[in-house]
Amino acid sequence: MGRRKGYAAGARPPADTVDSRATDRTGLRAAGPMRTCIGCRRTDSWLVLVRVVAQRQATDDTVSILPDPRHRLPGRGAWLHPVSVCFEQAVRRKAFGRALRLQAPVETSAVAAYLLRQHQHEPTSETTQTQGGLPADEHPMSTQQ
């Protein structure tokens, strides 16, 4: 076993600090694989991030960047927090092309539209009301969200 990055041989991080490589953004131990957002460069659980992949257009030399929320599309992927700040940083720094190892110009409108749809569908602080007037989440067997 090699030594851990960032610490001298035999040294450990101070007890009151959280090792960001082993925890998610809540400070708890990550449940699954950790990925790095190409916008803000912070690591987070892959469950929180949106995967994006490149798809070459047949008509010209541009490459479309597509969201892959189900993590099933083929090809090299990059990871992004589903917030506009990270998306704008990634576009400004041209991180999509670097992360996906692309030489051609990239088209990110599909990712922007996906993030806009996600933002519009975010649950608000108000509870959802059913036809009966009760909050949908009040009944444990409710199928409404």
pLDDT above 70 for 7: no
Does this model's pTM top 0.75? My answer is no
Q: Identify the CA nearest to 45 among candidates 29, 61, 62.
A: 29
User: In angstroms, rounded to a whole number, what is the distance separating the alpha carbons of residues 100 and 102?
Assistant: 6
pLDDT above 90 coverage of the chain, percent: 48
pLDDT tier for residue 57 given thresholds of 50, 70 and 90:
confident
pLDDT at 124: 56
> Nearest CA to 57 among 68, 45, 65?
65
Q: Specify the higher pLDDT residue, 48 or 27.
A: 48
Assess whether pLDDT exceeds 80 at residue 6.
no
CATH superfamily of 34-120: YlxR-like (3.30.1230.10)
pLDDT greater than 70 at residue 18: no
What is the pLDDT at residue 41? Answer: 95
pLDDT at residue 118, as a whole number: 87
36 has a pLDDT exceeding 90: yes
Contact (CB, 8 A) for 46 and 79: yes
Give 13-46 as a DSSP string: --TTS--TTTB-TTSSBPSS-EEEBTTT--EEET
Q: Please work out, in degrees rounded to the nearest 5, the angle formed at the alpha carbon of residue 109 by the alpha carbons of 70 and 102.
A: 80
Residues ≥6 apart with Cβ < 8 Å to 96: 38, 52, 54, 65, 78, 90, 102, 106, 108
> By the 8 A CB rule, do 46 and 36 touch?
no
Q: What is the pLDDT of residues 76-126, one digit of tens each?
A: 999 999 999 999 999 999 999 999 999 988 999 999 999 999 888 766 555
pLDDT at res. 11: 52
How is residue 127 written in tokens? 């509870």
Q: Render 37-86 in DSSP notation, one character per residue.
A: BTTT--EEETTTSEEEEEEE-SSSS-EEEEEETTS--SS-EEEE-SSHHH
Element at 114 (helix H, strand E): helix 109-120
